[in-house]
Amino acid sequence: MRLPQAHTKTAIVAAATLGVLAAVGALVGVTAGGDGDSLAGSSAPVPTAVLRALHVHHDRLPYRKPLVFTVTNGALTSVNVVEPSGQQIPGTFNASHDSWTSAGSFAPLTQLHAHVVYSDLLHHARTQDFALRATDAKHRMVPLLSPGEGYTVGVGSPVQVTFNYDVPDSMRAAVEGRMSVVAHPAVVGAWHWMSAREVHWRPPSYWKTGTRVTISADVQGLNFGHGIWGTQGKHRTSFRVGDAHVSEVDIATHTMHVYDNGVLIKTFPVSTGRDQYPTMDGVHIAIEKSKVVQMDSATVGIPKGSPGYYNETVYWDVRISNGGEFVHAAPWSVADQGRTNVSHGCVNLSTANAQWFYNWANRGDIIYVFNGVRPPSTTDPGTADWNMSWKEWLAGDAAPTHAAKALRPKLPSDYQPAFAPKSTTSQTSAAKKSAAQSSSKPAGRSTSPTRRS
């Protein structure tokens, strides 16, 4: 039985010569004679055998269609279809051997080579080769890897993979199987889906200084449904973990301790969020930094015309949440720094201290805020990664490894705040002197033009 022909197809014509085939398939006598060959008992010429690749137009096969070869006025002897890798494509013949259909359809842009052997009604063998390619999908799932190539980041920086379409729950394990994180020195870690479009990977505790990490993702050939397929090619990036920069912000004592590789190097007086706008507790990471930010309270729910509205140009800004929390210069609150909390949720420093911190800080550095009343957000990029237990983190992994499941670590902030700093007496004295000098600067306004979460 011949399969229905598509409206577009490639036809390969082979001329028949000598031989005979009865209407019921029995072999009978022949009448010879070049172009005038005919079946026995008939003066009509032998019909031409025609080989077709259905659905194919200009050597392109719609990726949702199977590959089908048919022959009229003849029979298929063999069909051999392979991908460039040498992978054989299985298929089946129909009962009359005039049609062959691949076992399934193909991923977008799949390249195929087909070698077809067939015969005409006179049993003369013919061959034809095809170089085909599946068409492309209209929609491609593309992974964006972060940190980017060549970056040096802080010890709290997670690996982030962001997609341009939602990844269905049913596909997340397959996606994780197409991604890898390789660290030197090696470390066990796990993925956690922050949303349908974003997944993070981190070790159970902060990265070790000097670690080199390579991220790769290859979702080619994955069918995400609704016409969305994984993009072609392997995506890869490498980054390095820099010095361990950990800062502790004690909301109760209005103090910020800054540690470099476990050594206390600075102590700053600060002012954090007032009662109405408390700063989030928990481990924050530095997301980005800008020398100047225009802070408009309308972006965080304090509209123009309300008592707390502000729209200020603020300097030396290190963002620690997407909800508007920064560590930044606040010359107007110097008189309150080290004494009381007056900001709208940010960590206020003097201009000199903020500039120093800005120049020292890297993306991915740890800013641990504690003794406050507002819990950390599990969805904000600044606080989402390091404020859940390892068990909670693994619950967001679609296919955690046995090694990851075997770990029973505590949160880093539970057992190594600032990596158990080994500060010396002279360092501590210098830090206290620096803090005293900062708090003696002239007082400004007591309300901070900052955004809050």
Domain 9-134 maps to which CATH number in 1.10.730.10, 3.40.1160.10, 2.30.30.830, 2.60.40.3780? 2.60.40.3780
Q: Tell me the whole-structure pTM to 2 decimals.
A: 0.78
Cα separation, 319 vs 325, in Å, equals 6
pLDDT score, position 395: 98
Interval 403-431: pLDDT, tens: 999 999 988 876 655 544 444 333 444 44
Selecting among 124, 200, 328, 344, the annotated active-site residue is: 328
Compute CA 256 distance to the chain's CA centroid, rounded to the nearest angstrom: 35
Spatial contact of 156 and 386, defined as CB atoms under 8 Å apart: yes
- Domain 139-241 architecture: Sandwich (2.60)
Q: What are 145's strand-pairing partners?
A: 161
Give the contacts of 413 (CB within 8 A, at least 6 positions apart).
282, 283, 368, 370, 386
| Phi and psi, residue 208, nearest 5° | -85, 135
Low-confidence winner among 176-180, 235-239, 398-402, 409-413 (lowest mean pLDDT): 409-413
The pLDDT of 133-150, averaged and rounded, is 96
Q: Over the chain, what is the mean pLDDT? A: 85
Query: Which pLDDT score, from 0 to 100, does residue 17 have?
Result: 32
- pLDDT top residue among 428 and 120: 120
- Residue 154: how many CA atoms within 13 Å on its side-chain side? 23
Torsion sign across C-alpha atoms 152, 158, 159, 165: negative
Query: Where along the chain do its domains lie?
Result: 9-134, 139-241, 245-410+417-439
The 3-state DSSP class for residue 317 equals: strand
Can you give the pLDDT at residue 399?
A: 98
What pairs with residue 23 in β-bridges? none
Predicted confidence (pLDDT) at residue 129 exceeds the cutoff of 50: yes
Identify which of 166, 236, 151 has the alpha carbon closest to the alpha carbon of residue 198: 166
Query: Phi and psi for 113 in degrees, rounded to 5?
Result: -125, 125
Phi/psi for 282 (5° steps) reads 100, 175
Res 23: pLDDT: 32
Strands (DSSP E) contained in 255-402 are 255-260, 263-269, 282-285, 288-296, 311-319, 326-329, 347-349, 366-370
398-402 long-range Cβ contacts below 8 angstroms, 24+ apart: 398/169, 398/172, 398/173, 398/175, 398/176, 398/191, 398/193, 399/172, 399/173, 399/176, 399/177, 400/190, 400/191, 401/188, 401/190
Q: Do 322 and 381 meet the contact criterion of CB atoms below 8 Å apart? A: yes
Same fold, 9-134 and 139-241: yes
For 245-410+417-439, CATH number? 2.40.440.10
Q: What Cα–Cα distance (Å) separates residue 88 from each residue in 68, 80, 107, 114, 332?
A: 15, 8, 15, 10, 73
- Judged against a pLDDT cut of 80, whether residue 11 lies above it is answered with no
pLDDT-based confidence at residue 42 (cuts at 50, 70, 90): low
- Range in 129-133, 240-244, 297-301, 362-366 with the lowest mean pLDDT: 297-301
More confident residue, 183 or 307: 183
Measure the N-to-C terminal CA separation of the chain; round to a whole number of Å: 68
pLDDT, position 30 = 30
By three-state DSSP, how is residue 119 classified? strand
Token pair, residue 167, equals: 């990844």
Give yes or no for residue 10 having a pLDDT over 60. no
Strand, helix or coil for residue 168: coil
Q: Among this protein's residues, is 58 annotated catalytic?
A: no
Considering 55, 200, 245, 346, which one is annotated as catalytic?
Answer: 346
Annotation says 113 is catalytic: no
Contact assessment for residue 325 and residue 372, using Cβ atoms and an 8 Å cutoff: no
Residue 36 has pLDDT above 70, yes or no: no
How far is residue 195's CA from residue 167's CA, in Å, rounded to a whole number?
9
If you ran DSSP here, which 8-state letter would residue 367 be given?
E
